[in-house]
Amino acid sequence: MFDLIVRNANLPDGRQGFDIGLAGGRITAIEKRIHAVAGEEIDATGRLVSPPFCDPHFHMDATLSLGMPRMNMSGTLLEGIALWGELRPLLTKEALVDRALRYCDLAVSQGLLFIRSHVDTSDPRLVTAEALIEVRERVAPYITLQLVAFPQDGYYRAAEGAKSLERALDMGIDIVGGIPHFERTMDEGRLSLEALCRIAAERGLPVDIHCDETDDPMSRHIETLAAETIRYGLQGRVAGSHLTSMHSMDNYYVSKLIPLMAEAQINVIPNPLINIMLQGRHDTYPKRRGLTRVRELMAAGLNVSFGQDCTMDPWYSMGSADMLEVGHMAIHVAQMSGIEDKKQVFDALTINSAKTMGLDGYGLEVGCKADLVILQAADVIEALRLKPTRLCVVKGGKVISRSAPRIGELFLAGRPNRIDSGLDYVPKTSS
Ligand code: FE2
């Protein structure tokens, strides 16, 4: 007996037309044909069924605050930080919770059920931490929300940066964050990484650092982060987010750096949407793209997972909680146009992110948790191209979101007049 059977599903690994049986909060069968009854059955009709999407890098305290108190006119990271500094004293717990819960509703409808959010700890009031801890509890039945103590104004640069970060960890924030490229000097950035890795080692916590989010080829904090990771035995528990300076670094230096990062088992989190928007703003032409070296890092065996970073906030005025939008941009900016490239990008939105976040029981295999998404696409390649409707989102074996399929009608004489999503006339395996 199953609680739910999803029939005729295509799986991300290419298996087609399989039935998936869910019982007791787990996936208990994946077979060509399950001969059993279930509390509920859904016919996926040859659509892609995926594990839920994961976003390993987000800012839920800032989301949906676009225009408060004004817009970012230069479009730069630095004006975004200044603008957030203007908004910060005006933040209330109630408003933070309200915006975060609204974002989480949108995330569920997009099949995004695992989110790691940085939480600004610069304001000693720590109203952001208080609010996001409450949100973490309230959304726990449907979203796994991890929180990173993030000293937005600098661990050393802000007056009480170091103290506030530790207080936030004491409150129950899960992960140690940092921003070495925003400290006053390169040396203070290096020292901040030493301190943050030590704190993580002492508390037994993971580390996730906004690292080298600049176009400066000499911003080399990732080297220190990798070295400190090894020194404190934190291999596999440390993430380097953004790493955009790697785009501009000298190639010889990078040939030494990437093996060091691999030795430290750094989890790499590029954020293609925000960084194609923010980086290169000081360039005339040619303008640098500012995405880290995705293809090279993947080829070296590093775990690469893509983050969304922002949605409608001082840094990024776009966004829709859609991780396929993130993957779509990654394909373009990292020039990952091949079929195998695209499969790697899909993995970077799902299983790689789950590894970065240390998720237990994640995946679409027997024994994994009964969480999945049915998409209006035949396979992962089509999903990345179309960013299709998430027809059904299942959490713990129960449907928590349904969306109507996109169906259009044409009125052209002598030709088929019904089109499913209006786009599926191209071969499924096109690249
Ligand atoms: Fe960020």
Residue 428 pLDDT > 50, yes or no?
A: no
Residue 14 pLDDT > 60, yes or no?
A: yes
Going from the Cα of 212 to the center of ligand 1, the distance in angstroms, rounded, reads 11
Alpha-carbon span 143 to 112, nearest angstrom: 8
By percentage, how much of the chain surpasses pLDDT 70? Answer: 95
Does 378 map to a domain?
A: yes
What's the total number of domains in the chain? 2
Report the pLDDT value the prediction gives residue 411, as an integer from 0 to 100: 73
Alpha-carbon span 22 to 2, nearest angstrom: 6
Let me know whether 326 and 413 are in one domain.
no
- Residue 155: band (very low, low, confident or very high) from pLDDT cuts 50, 70, 90: very high
- Residue 419: band (very low, low, confident or very high) from pLDDT cuts 50, 70, 90: low
**pLDDT single digits (tens) 68-79:** 989 999 989 899
Does 273 map to a domain?
A: yes
- Residue 247: band (very low, low, confident or very high) from pLDDT cuts 50, 70, 90: very high
Please, which residues have CB within 8 angstroms of residue 282's CB and are 6 or more apart in sequence? 215
Let me know whether 212 and 146 are in one domain.
yes
Give the end of a domain, one of 319, 336, 357.
Answer: 357
User: What mean pLDDT is predicted for residues 126-154?
Assistant: 98
Going from the Cα of 418 to the center of ligand 1, the distance in angstroms, rounded, reads 43
Does 399 map to a domain?
A: yes
**pLDDT single digits (tens) 264-300:** 999 999 999 999 999 999 999 999 998 999 999 999 9
Give the end of a domain, one of 320, 340, 357.
Answer: 357
Let me know whether 265 and 342 are in one domain.
yes
Going from the Cα of 178 to the center of ligand 1, the distance in angstroms, rounded, reads 10
**pLDDT single digits (tens) 309-356:** 999 999 999 999 999 999 999 999 999 999 999 999 999 999 999 999
Residue 158 pLDDT > 60, yes or no?
A: yes
Does 101 map to a domain?
A: yes
Residues, beta carbon < 5 Å, ion ligand 1: 309
Q: Which of these, 137, 133, 139, 110, lies nearest to 61 by C-alpha position?
A: 133
Going from the Cα of 58 to the center of ligand 1, the distance in angstroms, rounded, reads 6
Let me know whether 27 and 116 are in one domain.
no
Alpha-carbon span 238 to 210, nearest angstrom: 11
Residue 374 sits in a domain of what CATH number?
Answer: 2.30.40.10
User: For residues 396 and 25, is the Cβ–Cβ distance under 8 A?
Assistant: yes
User: What mean pLDDT is predicted for residues 28-56?
Assistant: 96
Does 420 map to a domain?
A: yes
Going from the Cα of 151 to the center of ligand 1, the distance in angstroms, rounded, reads 11
Going from the Cα of 254 to the center of ligand 1, the distance in angstroms, rounded, reads 23
Going from the Cα of 83 to the center of ligand 1, the distance in angstroms, rounded, reads 15
Q: Six-digit token pair at 332?
A: 């373009």
- Residue 425: band (very low, low, confident or very high) from pLDDT cuts 50, 70, 90: very low
Does 64 map to a domain?
A: yes
Going from the Cα of 374 to the center of ligand 1, the distance in angstroms, rounded, reads 29
Q: Six-digit token pair at 116?
A: 């790691």
By percentage, how much of the chain surpasses pLDDT 90? Answer: 92
Going from the Cα of 372 to the center of ligand 1, the distance in angstroms, rounded, reads 27
Catalytic residue numbers, as ranges? 213
User: For residues 431 and 342, is the Cβ–Cβ distance under 8 A?
Assistant: yes
Residue 102 pLDDT > 50, yes or no?
A: yes
Let me know whether 224 and 311 are in one domain.
yes
Let me know whether 257 and 378 are in one domain.
no
- Residue 418: band (very low, low, confident or very high) from pLDDT cuts 50, 70, 90: low
Please, which residues have CB within 8 angstroms of residue 210's CB and are 6 or more apart in sequence? 118, 150, 177, 178, 179, 181, 182, 241, 242
Let me know whether 173 and 315 are in one domain.
yes
Report the pLDDT value the prediction gives residue 412, as an integer from 0 to 100: 72
User: What mean pLDDT is predicted for residues 412-421?
Assistant: 60
Report the pLDDT value the prediction gives residue 109, as an integer from 0 to 100: 97
Let me know whether 161 and 282 are in one domain.
yes
Does 431 map to a domain?
A: no
Cis before residue 69, ω within 30 degrees of 0?
yes
Let me know whether 171 and 108 are in one domain.
yes
Residue 429 pLDDT > 70, yes or no?
A: no
Give residue 93's domain range: 53-357
Does 382 map to a domain?
A: yes
Mean pLDDT score across all residues of the chain: 94
User: For residues 351 and 410, is the Cβ–Cβ distance under 8 A?
Assistant: no
Let me know whether 220 and 345 are in one domain.
yes
Let me know whether 63 and 120 are in one domain.
yes
Report the pLDDT value the prediction gives residue 216, as an integer from 0 to 100: 97
Report the pLDDT value the prediction gives residue 406, as an integer from 0 to 100: 85
Report the pLDDT value the prediction gives residue 430, as an integer from 0 to 100: 41
- Residue 422: band (very low, low, confident or very high) from pLDDT cuts 50, 70, 90: very low
Residue 144 sits in a domain of what CATH number?
Answer: 3.20.20.140
Give the end of a domain, one of 304, 331, 357.
Answer: 357
Alpha-carbon span 247 to 260, nearest angstrom: 17
Let me know whether 73 and 190 are in one domain.
yes
Q: Six-digit token pair at 289?
A: 């793209």
